[in-house]
Amino acid sequence: MAQIVLVTGKPRIGKTAFVVDMIMHDEAYKDRKLFSNINGLKLPHHQPPEGHSWEDMYEWLKWEENIGSLVVFDEVQDLYPKRYGNGKMPPNVSFLNVHGHYGIDMIFITQSPKIIDLNLKEVVNKHIHITANQMGGLTRLEWNEAVTNTTSEAKRAVSSVHKINEEVFDYYKSAEVHSHNKKVRSRWWYILVFGPFVVLFMLSIVGYMGWKTYQGFKSKGDDQASQQQAQTVSEPANLTNPVAGITQATQAATSPGQGENANLTPEMFVPTLAERPESKPLYNGVRQVRQFERVAACIDGGKSGCACYTDQATKVREVPEALCRQYALEGLPFNPYKETSQNSAGQQQKTVAEGGSRASVWTLDSDAKQNLAYAHDAPVSAQ
């Protein structure tokens, strides 16, 4: 059955390549006498007979030798432009109504159905539209009639993925060979292609963070259990005798069947702070804090400037110089950690009681006193 096929699409979308592929491989068009104006077509084909043109093909297509031919015309809007008004139909247009009587198949190529003759659209048997899709590829839409608005009519078209057969570029001359791969891909193409990798990466990060969190809680629980076990092994009496506490802790660690750590391990002798030997894990059960750093005095002057010191005469480096000078000038702030005077008096009485057997010499004048260590015959006196 002779029919008219209309192929539409934007420039450089691959319309001509699709038609050449149809001519070469579609059984309905093989071994047919071909008339075509495709630029540089290398397939066997003919031009209008001498003395004739495409505008009067309604005459020479009726010749006996041309019956059953195939006509392929590129840029058909030049041959059948859009007409305005209700004037007489040109002979070339009216021939489209009877082309089937002569077994003539026609394939017309144009950019849009809106720019061709209305009567041509009325006799189209198949409309094929090639368009770019949001995935960065091509889609082929097909209707059994010509449609004017391919976008709004796409929902009722037969849709399929379109791929250009690059072999056909060797059989005609077209700029499509230089531009058919230069398509702008939409964000959906990148989302579908790279999205799974991004999701997998994010899941890996979440899984790793979850595993690290679990390991942190587990390690914290193990440390607390170890500290509780060490405190159970150490008796309160060891707090006043660190050496005895270390001995008992070592014996408990080396005694089989007592606690989870039945034997000493090298890690127990490695300090957690390299410069602090008391930070060895071996001492965890006996190491207790007895005092804390507090500012006991601040001295302003000398080569070192202003400095603050603790009860143990160690320098407090955290106090800035401005605050140090303020303390030296105005005095230290109230100390809520210092014991009351009653406790201090009791401590002094205890000290006197413990040292009552020692002789002491008190004097109020400025005369030098004889050293009692060398006065064997002198009497001992308190002034």
Give the CATH number for residue 60.
3.40.50.300
Sign of CA dihedral 128, 75, 100, 41: negative
- Of 254, 288, 322, the residue that ends a domain is 288
**Does 244 map to a domain?**
yes
Among 77-81, 251-255, 260-264, whose mean pLDDT is lowest? 251-255
pLDDT band for position 120 (50/70/90)?
very high
Distance CA 1, CA 379 (A): 152
Q: Are residues 164 and 48 part of one domain?
A: yes
Give the closest residue to 22 by CA, choosing from 175, 152, 126.
126
Q: Are residues 86 and 11 part of one domain?
A: yes
Q: 298 pLDDT exceeds 50? A: yes
Structure tokens belonging to residue 245: 């506490």
**Does 262 map to a domain?**
yes
Q: 17 pLDDT exceeds 90? A: yes
Task: Name the domain count of the chain.
Answer: 3
pLDDT band for position 285 (50/70/90)?
confident
- Of 123, 154, 188, the residue that ends a domain is 188
**Does 91 map to a domain?**
yes
List, for residues 224-258, the tens digit of each pLDDT value: 777 777 666 554 544 445 555 555 555 554 444 44
Q: What is the DSSP letter of 337?
A: T
**Does 339 map to a domain?**
no
- Of 334, 349, 364, the residue that ends a domain is 334
> What local confidence, expressed as pLDDT, does residue 169 receive?
92
Q: Are residues 156 and 68 part of one domain?
A: yes
- Tell me which residue has tokens 């450089």: 12
Q: Are residues 321 and 282 part of one domain?
A: no
**Does 31 map to a domain?**
yes
319 sits in the region (left: phi over 0; alpha: psi -120 to 50; else beta) called: beta
> What local confidence, expressed as pLDDT, does residue 372 receive?
37
Q: Are residues 179 and 319 part of one domain?
A: no
Domain of 314, in residue numbers: 291-334
Q: Are residues 245 and 169 part of one domain?
A: no
Q: Are residues 330 and 262 part of one domain?
A: no
The rounded radius of gyration (Å) of the Cα atoms in the chain is 53
> What local confidence, expressed as pLDDT, does residue 383 receive?
32
Q: Are residues 302 and 183 part of one domain?
A: no
Q: Are residues 165 and 270 part of one domain?
A: no
**Does 342 map to a domain?**
no
Q: Are residues 33 and 80 part of one domain?
A: yes
> What local confidence, expressed as pLDDT, does residue 116 receive?
95
Structure tokens belonging to residue 159: 């849709």
Q: Are residues 268 and 143 part of one domain?
A: no
Q: Are residues 182 and 56 part of one domain?
A: yes
Mean pLDDT of 79-88: 85
Structure tokens belonging to residue 342: 């009653």
Question: Which distant-in-sequence residues (6+ apart) come within 8 Å of 271 by Cβ?
Answer: 277, 278, 279, 280
Report the amino acid identity of residue 135: M
**Does 383 map to a domain?**
no
Structure tokens belonging to residue 7: 């192929």
> What local confidence, expressed as pLDDT, does residue 290 receive?
85
At what angle are helices 187-233 and 242-254 packed, to 10 degrees? 110
> What local confidence, expressed as pLDDT, does residue 187 receive?
62
**Does 358 map to a domain?**
no
Task: Write down the pTM of the prediction.
Answer: 0.50
